[in-house]
Copies of this chain bind each other. A is one copy, B any other.
């Protein structure tokens, strides 16, 4: 275990490095925080901290930078969380009452406001149920023989696909068919729907039921993501060369991020912090992800995440991710009445 003084010094090193992005020297620590020891003493402590793996140097005589272990210790033991002032809260919440109340608008806005608040990439994943249920299906006549099958699921998402229908059926017949299907399928999950299918007498009803089962199953796959703040993240010194920037751009898209987020199945009162190689994906090994979940336990659950370099303002970011997760939970409640 670290002595108090060492922990204090580590804290200062991390704070300083987060602020300046430059290796931290013993002189800087003593001067800027008027420590009552000499730089030599600090140097001894730094050497010890390095020995124990909390910090490193890029080369022999540069200052120190935190290692992933150092960040981890900082996040768990040292970091001072920067509270969200009443003003900031008000400003943020105000923005949500200025757009039309709708889930997608809110999710989009959340990503954008969070990104601006933390100066890094913010990702918001649309809430999903692990096992979605059908609320209602609808058949919209397109042309003889084809209709648009629209399914509204209980997590509020809408799935659609074009399906074949009997040539001679127009909208009235399709309405009747849809209401027949809804009577039996509504509020069931994909698996259940599939087992109900054989109970229908009519061939087409059976076929459509299976299409609906597919549709509902699809609702459980890829969650829609809202991504913002890429530019702000890339503007940081970590991406000062074009190749690093290109690497980042390559990965910061919905397809890749979906894999990195991994859907939580229950909302999380806190926020998980994954530093560097604590992330599974290897492209994230220089990144930190702060992630939290929102929604109702047992209901639809989404996630809010911030991605940035491991040198991230943790004390600022973590409470804000938590706050946005809570905020989104509240907004979801509001949508649900």
Chain A: residues with CB nearer than 8 A to chain B? 100-102, 135-136, 138, 140-146, 148, 150, 152, 156, 158, 160-162, 171, 175, 179, 186, 230-231, 234-235, 239-242, 245-246, 249-250, 335-337
A246 to B242, CA, bound (A): 10
Could you say which residues of chain B place their CB within 8 Å of the CB of A160?
102, 158
- Identify which of A140, A175, A249 gathers the most chain B CB atoms within 10 Å of its CB: A140
Instruction: Give which listed residue, B138, B230, B241, contacts A150 with CB less than 8 A.
Output: B138
In contact, B179 and A142 (Cβ under 8 angstroms): no
Task: Give the CA-CA distance A60 to B246 in the complex, in Å.
Answer: 33
Could you tell me the distance between the alpha carbons of A175 and B245 in the complex, rounded to whole angstroms? 53
User: What are the nearest 6 A-B pairs in CB distance?
Assistant: A143-B337, A140-B152, A136-B140, A231-B250, A138-B138, A231-B249
- Assuming the A-B contacts A171-B136, A231-B246, A231-B250, are A337 and B142 also in contact, with contact meaning beta carbons closer than 8 angstroms in the complex? yes
| Closest Cβ neighbor of A230 among chain B residues | B249
* Alpha-carbon separation in the docked complex, A143 to B148 (Å): 26
CB pair A145 B231 closer than 8 Å: no
Cβ contact within 8 Å between A152 and B152: no
Q: Using Cβ atoms and an 8 Å threshold, which residues of chain B touch A246? A: 231, 234-235, 245
Chain B residues lying within 8 Å of A101, measured Cβ to Cβ, are 162
Majority DSSP secondary structure for residues of A touching B:
mixed
Are the C-beta atoms of B138 and A148 separated by less than 8 Å? no
CA distance A135 to B148 in the complex (A): 11
Instruction: State A54–B171 Cα separation when bound (angstroms).
Output: 61
| B152 near A150: Cβ-Cβ < 8 Å | yes
Cβ-defined contact, B158 with A150, below 8 A: yes
**How near does chain B come to A247, taking the closest CB pair, in angstroms?**
9
Residue from the list B145, B148, B250 in contact with A337, Cβ < 8 A: B145
Question: Smallest CB–CB gap between A133 and chain B, Å?
Answer: 12
| Cα separation A193 to B101 with both chains bound (whole Å) | 23
Distance between Cα atoms of A160 and B246 in the complex (Å):
37
With beta carbons under 8 angstroms apart, the residue of B136, B175, B245 that contacts A242 is B245
9 more contacts with CB within 8 A, not counting A138-B150, A146-B337, A148-B156, are: A102-B162, A136-B141, A136-B171, A230-B249, A231-B249, A234-B245, A235-B246, A241-B242, A249-B249
- Complex: how many Å from CA A230 to CA B256? 14
Quick check: A336 and B240 within 8 Å, CB to CB?
Answer: no
Task: Name which residue of chain B comes closest to A139, CB basis.
Answer: B136
Could you jot down 15 A-B contacts, CB within 8 Å?
A135-B148, A136-B171, A140-B152, A143-B336, A145-B337, A148-B156, A150-B150, A162-B335, A171-B186, A175-B179, A235-B246, A240-B242, A242-B242, A242-B245, A249-B249
